[in-house]
Structure 1
Amino acid sequence: MELRQLEYFAAVARHRHFTRAAESLYVTQPALSQQVRRLEAELGLALFRRTSKGVELTPAGADLLVHAEKILAEVAQARAEMDRHTGVSRGVVRVATTAADAPRLPAALAAFHGDHPHIQIALRQGSAAEVVALVQAGAVDVAVLALTEPPAGLEVVPLADEPLRVVVPVDDELAGTTIALDQLRGRPFILAEPGTALRDTVLQATQEAGFSPLPLFEVGDPATVRFLVREGLGVGLVPASWLERPGPVVGAADLADPPRHRLSLLTPSAGASPAGRLLLERLAEL
């Protein structure tokens, strides 16, 4: 019986699903299934019963889960104590974010890797709802996300906010100027996807300016937004940081009274791993 087998078994028991358990551990589903089958073969017992919705524990599986959780908790505590001796020089840290909230994240992760080369970094992108669910499930140590409202059961650290800027084609008459938001009335908009904080901020600002934008495109990836704007397919209101990175060349206009956009760091209520706490300190500088 190997520690990895117990970790995989406990993940399947927690998620009641092999695929979701594999995703939470950042391993392939066949690899996870193989380890669980080996554990069952070694014990000579079936630990799970397949159902139409996933799996459920057998009586033997339920008994083993009690012991597995105790063992894994002891191992986690031992690793944490050893990390205090080694200065957290090893381990794994799992991060989640959306495409829209990630422009500065790759550089921050690269710098963290340079300082801590023996800490493995795993990054996952998803929708805002998926990112929150990953943190709530304890599948990631930290998430970077703009919030529409504080999610339940998570620790939230707000980061510095930034203004939204108007992104337009480079030869647009508004490029390089400062405008009032209502000057964009009637122009096609490229908006972030529904359910995102950026979209909510833009819609609130335009409604306060007396109009509702026509969303011809709903896109969260900064490079895609810039490409569509460059080709004259619409204008957008985007965080200023989106224009700091390399990408399709576009023009930009400032707003006289710009809406603000704020990212937050999310961690499980039980706390991040030692390596996760170390990364959290670095990401607080975003």
Structure 2
Amino acid sequence: MELRQLQYFVAVAEEGGFGRAAERLTIVQSAVSQQVRRLERELGVVLLDRSTRGTRLSAAGERLLPQARAALAAAEQVRRTAAGIRAGTDGVLRLGAVQTPGTRLDDALARLADRAPGLRVRLRQGPPAERLEALRTGGLDAALFRAVTAHPDLDLVPVWHDPLHVALPADHPLAAEDELRLDRLAHLPLRLAARDRNPAFHALVTDACRGAGIDPPPGEPFTTLRETLAEIGSATTPSWTVFYEVNGLPDLPRVAVRRLAGPTVTTSLARPAGPPAPALRHLLHALGAPRAAHAPHP
């Protein structure tokens, strides 16, 4: 059974004859008659009663006409959806997400919904290594990463830049400064998460220290941000850590949080190398990177 056979049957039923149906379809009458008869043979029922007085629906044709119309409507919907997918305004976009300050990501997804109302975004959170593996294996179409600036298999487009913050004991002399430079922290033990927990951020901090000409002594291990800050506020030996804002700046007793001068952390959208799919171009626009959305892969 072919869609055109259903189309011809519906046209004959609606026009009341093969001649008028042929005119509507802009084909010869014999082609309409031939295809409808093939449909009847395949279904094993007579759809149209033909006589010298004209053509009308049989009982079987009357029963099947609504279903034929529904099948044609469903096929048309498939075509429209496919066209939307090609244009990037429909379909499913699987996005690896990160926590962002305030409602930044939610706002970007709202802008994406305005640009591509039929596009459904499936968010997937997880450690950076998990998101990277999902990109490699096709489980994600794109993913957000912090502090990752280059990767041999991916295109990375910077979308956000955020300051870094230092946490240190509130009674330390450096806490009196509104903004801290790295060279001022050279002799204070640094609590930094191990490289294997977040390689990109670890490299960002250590490279920034190296660029500032310092090599701070290692402090106690970094666990979670809240636990580490609590230990910084209560420890007898002063230490410091560096972090980026996610859910607002923490406010803990005996801990001072100051902005770090100079280095920032960049959040980038990563995707497989090559020209971006239309849905990804819409996403890049929504994230605030319209020019980068069309940048060729180097």
Q: How does the TM-score come out when normalised to structure 2?
A: 0.53
Say if 1:182 and 1:93 are closer, same or farther in 2 by CA, change over 3 A: same
Counterpart of 1:81, as a letter, is A
| Cα displacement (A) at 1:225 | 1.4
Say if 1:82 and 1:93 are closer, same or farther in 2 by CA, change over 3 A: closer
**1:25 is matched with which residue?**
none
| Stretch of structure 1 that moved more, 152-161 or 244-253 | 244-253
**1:69 is matched with which residue?**
none
Alignment of 1:175-194 (within 5 A): 175=175, 177=177, 178-194=179-195
Say if 1:128 and 1:275 are closer, same or farther in 2 by CA, change over 3 A: same
Q: How does the TM-score come out when normalised to structure 1?
A: 0.54
CA contact (8 A) 1:113 1:119 kept: no
Alignment of 1:147-158 (within 5 A): 147-148=147-148, 150-158=150-158
Alignment of 1:189-228 (within 5 A): 189-195=190-196, 196-207=199-210, 208-219=212-223, 224-228=224-228
**1:280 is matched with which residue?**
284
CA contact (8 A) 2:185 2:216 kept: no
Q: What SS class does the counterpart of residue 191 from structure 2 fall into?
A: strand
CA contact (8 A) 2:189 2:217 kept: yes
**1:81 is matched with which residue?**
83
Counterpart of 2:207, as a letter, is Q
Counterpart of 1:158, as a letter, is P
Counterpart of 2:240, as a letter, is V
Give the whole-Å Cα distance in 2 for the aligned partners of 1:107 and 1:149: 21
Counterpart of 2:109, as a letter, is F
CA contact (8 A) 2:191 2:219 kept: yes
Say if 1:205 and 1:112 are closer, same or farther in 2 by CA, change over 3 A: closer
Alignment of 1:107-126 (within 5 A): 107-109=104-106, 112-113=109-110, 116=113, 119-126=119-126
The higher radius of gyration belongs to 2
**1:93 is matched with which residue?**
93
Q: Count how many residue pairs are aligned between Structure 1 and Structure 2.
A: 199
Counterpart of 1:125, as a letter, is Q
| Cα displacement (A) at 1:149 | 5.1
| 2:172 matches 1:168 | no
CA contact (8 A) 2:169 2:175 kept: yes
**1:245 is matched with which residue?**
248
Q: What SS class does the counterpart of residue 152 from structure 1 fall into?
A: coil
Q: What SS class does the counterpart of residue 156 from structure 2 fall into?
A: strand
Give the whole-Å Cα distance in 1 for the aligned partners of 2:142 and 2:100: 16
CA contact (8 A) 1:170 1:230 kept: no
| Cα displacement (A) at 1:171 | 5.1
Q: Deviations over 1:61-93 (max 9, x none)?
A: xxxxxxxxxxxxxxx9984423467x82x4322
Identity of aligned residues (%): 26
Give the whole-Å Cα distance in 2 for the aligned partners of 1:95 and 1:105: 19
Q: What SS class does the counterpart of residue 203 from structure 2 fall into?
A: helix
Q: Deviations over 1:75-130 (max 9, x none)?
A: x9984423467x82x43222214xxx532486413652586376433222333333
Counterpart of 1:123, as a letter, is L
| Cα displacement (A) at 1:157 | 0.9
Q: 1:102 aligns with which of 87, 93, 99?
A: 99
Q: CA RMSD in A?
A: 3.7
Alignment of 1:131-150 (within 5 A): 131-148=131-148, 150=150
| Cα displacement (A) at 1:276 | 4.0
**1:26 is matched with which residue?**
none
CA contact (8 A) 2:169 2:232 kept: yes
Give the whole-Å Cα distance in 1 for the aligned partners of 2:263 and 2:168: 17
Give the whole-Å Cα distance in 2 for the aligned partners of 1:213 and 1:80: 58
Q: 1:259 aligns with which of 250, 263, 269?
A: 263
Q: Deviations over 1:189-237 (max 9, x none)?
A: 3324415222112112334433234142245xxxx31452144264212
| Stretch of structure 1 that moved more, 110-119 or 274-283 | 110-119
Task: Detail structure 1 runs of 4+ shifted over 6 Å in the superposition.
Answer: none
Q: What SS class does the counterpart of residue 228 from structure 1 fall into?
A: helix
Give the whole-Å Cα distance in 1 for the aligned partners of 2:193 and 2:79: 41
Counterpart of 2:133, as a letter, is A
| Cα displacement (A) at 1:266 | 0.7
